Chains A and B, each alone.
Chain A
Amino acid sequence: MASASCSLLRLQPGTTGSIYRIEGMNPILRRRLADLGVSEGVMIRLKGKGPFMGPITLECNGQLFAIRRKEASMIEVKVS
């Protein structure tokens, strides 16, 4: 059974979710994320949150990267 989706930011650091939907994101950033293999259906892990409401660190397909919280909130994930 599919559980409800929530914003990526709601994940506990260290936990993984599968990407359900990415909406309203800047197209350049969307492309860059796709280059890194971030797209619907892929598993993504929240690694940590930076200082002063700064970027969050994510892991997807073994690649570590960071994006800002505002943009991360546009990624919806499902936690099973």
Chain B
Amino acid sequence: MSSIALVGNPNTGKTSLFNTLTSSYEYVGNWAGVTVEKKVGSLKNGAGKLIDLPGIYSLHPLSRDEGVAAQYLIEESPEALINIVDASQLERNLLLTLQLLEYGKPIVLGLNMIDVANARGIQVNPEVLQAQLGITVLPLIARTGKGSSQVLSVLEKPANIPPVSFHLNYGELVEATIASISNQLQQISGLPNLRWVSLQLMEQNPVVLELLKKRMDTSELMLLCDACQTQLQKQKLALTLPQWIRSIRMDYIRSVCAAAIDATKQKPHNLTERLDSILTHRFLGLPLFIVFMYAMFKTTFDWVGGPLSDLLDGFIGGPLSDGANSLLQAIGASGFTHALIVDGIIGGVGGVLVFVPQIFILFLMISFLEDSGYMARVCLLMDSTMERMGLNGKAFIPFIIGFGCNVPAIMAARSIEQPKDRMLTTLLMPLMSCSARLPVYLLFAAVFFPARQATAVLAMYVMGVVFALILCKLFSKHLFKNESSIFIIELPPYRMPQFKTLGRSTWEKGKGFLRKAGTIILAGSVIIWLMSYAGPAGFNVEMDNSFLAKFGGLIAPLLQPLGFGTWQAGSTLVPGFLAKEVVVSTMNIIYHAPDSAGLEGQIASVFTPLSSISFMAFILLYIPCLATVGVIKKETASWKWTFFSMGYSLVLAYAVSLVIFQGGRLLGWS
């Protein structure tokens, strides 16, 4: 099986092409840094494996996601490369292309976004480009899939892609150094193209340097580079060697572009400019963002999501439960089976499934933000606030993704350049209220704040963000060396998300939720139900004498000061660590509620409005779920920071709930 790698600048459509060329689906969006990991898929025509790499500007990585791509090219050996370039940004994109040509592997150039370029009046001539670079150039529109069949047919036999014979002359002086470095490198086996390795070394590519250091003594090579640089300075050609190499490449690229591009009819980004003049307006920008967020929550909870959930609830509580009841009676199921299915599974899993409409609508909105190009603008708007808190605006992209699920959000933090900013974003992520916590707020908001549901739920999200900002200030001041943060963000052109893409990416996000319903929530529900059904005295005991009550009773005294010191509340918290949705399943089982209406009645008798706020705040903050803990460990590569993230959230949750409940009581609320 051959492997072919997709390489290119960030946000040029590599993953869109990957999704059309393989039968798999990976995450796409309109900002730089969507793909942060190497993804492998099988080509549709069975010709081999396709590898999707994070976007890079050069082979010299700055952030962690770029490191993944650079490392792959250096340490592994793909049979061929597909270099995707953005036709509307050709000059910048070709800088990477030249380095890939020097890499020496067979390569095909995918000239993507020709529609975008044409709309801007930029005409790129693929034939001229092909003649100039000496490689196959295929025009593409990856978003719609246009041109992908040609790519597929070229890849049918990767061995037939002709090898590259690209040779850019860097001038006598540098060429001599390249020759002597290559000469020394000959003793090492398993290196990619030696000329390429030499050039990368001269450009001070850290990944190449590390690789060589492991195999040989590099001091002599460094001397050669230094000598070459001194010569360049003496002849007043350039200040540094990397600068010289870069300028030679740029000159070459300009000559290629001059031949291949007709930009005489070039127009400015009209739509993007007009939208930006409003959306990033210095006074209107932020208020507009807040209005959008509010509208998003209103749609999710009041306008569309709520009514749909009610319909589903009516179905699960009514026809489904009744149907299951009569069916079980008809086949003469035992009391145990009957209770397990109706109270445990339908009650527990069904109680969570009710919220599927709201969660899917939230995911749809997040997908829209991701695909439209607005995400990058939000970072721009939030940067000055974030800077004051010791972080940078770019962290806002992971934070918004975190409203869906914390796990991909923590992965998304990889595209942040500075290690300190990346670490802070990762540590604070659990404070972003993910969709799994949503059912808890929806349940309580429906009981205690029926008239202001969207506001109540929005308040929880805002609370999470506010605490994240406060802690960010605290952590960056006391836990990290005072490294000033930097901020730079590319602003991609706006585009109208396609219906198909939106549907797909919403489904991919929502699928995880449904899968959890069938696995961890189902298993959790069965275990919780068993614990509530069995007790020290045997099966089918009064719930107050069950194992679950005993277990919850151990925790309850600790929760007394927070206003929900009942075994019922206590016993939801531990399974909630596995998956936050299980909190609601557990409540459904404990209160034997056939539908939300029944559960809401039960909750109203146990909680007060004040203790419900305290409980919601506790659920918001108390601990990252098991999956999030796993990814924090993976990304920080440190148990210390992983435990820290669990510890601080527990302390914070307890303190906040205590202040809410006791403070509220002092003020005379109940």
User: Is B490 located at the chain interface by the 8 A CB criterion?
Assistant: yes
CB of B487 within 8 A of CB of A68, answer: yes
What does the 1/0 interface line of B467-486 toward A look like (CB < 8 Å)? 00000000000000000101
CB-defined contacts of A54 to chain B, threshold 8 Å: 282, 380-381, 383-384
CB of A50 within 8 A of CB of B92, answer: no
Query: Given A36, A49, A57, which contacts B276 in the complex, CB threshold below 8 Å?
Result: A57
CB of B246 within 8 A of CB of A34, answer: yes
CB of A66 within 8 A of CB of B283, answer: no
Interface residue tally of chain B, by bracket? 35 or more
CB of B384 within 8 A of CB of A64, answer: no
CB-defined contacts of A28 to chain B, threshold 8 Å: 62, 417-418, 486
User: Is A62 located at the chain interface by the 8 A CB criterion?
Assistant: yes
CB of A64 within 8 A of CB of B58, answer: no
- Nearest residue in A to B86 (C-beta to C-beta)? A63
In angstroms, Cα B88 to Cα A14, docked, is 21
CB of B486 within 8 A of CB of A55, answer: no
What does the 1/0 interface line of A53-79 toward B look like (CB < 8 Å)? 111010001111111100100000000
CB-defined contacts of A35 to chain B, threshold 8 Å: 57-58, 92, 95
CB of B57 within 8 A of CB of A36, answer: yes
CB of A64 within 8 A of CB of B89, answer: no
What's the minimum C-beta distance from B117 to chain A, rounded to whole angstroms? 10
CB of B60 within 8 A of CB of A31, answer: yes
> Which of A29, A33, A53, A54 has the most chain B CB atoms closer than 10 A to its own CB?
A54
User: Is A15 located at the chain interface by the 8 A CB criterion?
Assistant: no
User: Is B565 located at the chain interface by the 8 A CB criterion?
Assistant: no
Query: Given B120, B269, B384, which contacts A50 in the complex, CB threshold below 8 Å?
Result: B384
CB of B486 within 8 A of CB of A29, answer: yes
Given contacts A50-B380, A54-B381, A57-B280, contact A65 B62 (CB under 8 A): no
Query: Given A33, A53, A55, which contacts B380 in the complex, CB threshold below 8 Å?
Result: A55
CB-defined contacts of B387 to chain A, threshold 8 Å: 68
Query: Given B246, B286, B489, B493, which contacts A66 in the complex, CB threshold below 8 Å?
Result: B489
Q: Chain A: residues with CB nearer than 8 A to chain B?
A: 26, 28-29, 31-37, 47-55, 57, 61-68, 71
Sorted from nearest, which 3 A-B pairs have the closest CB atoms?
A35-B57, A54-B384, A64-B491
Q: Chain B: residues with CB nearer than 8 A to chain A?
A: 57-58, 60, 62, 88-89, 91-92, 95, 120, 246, 266, 269, 272-273, 276-277, 280-283, 285-286, 380-381, 383-385, 387, 393, 417-418, 484, 486-493
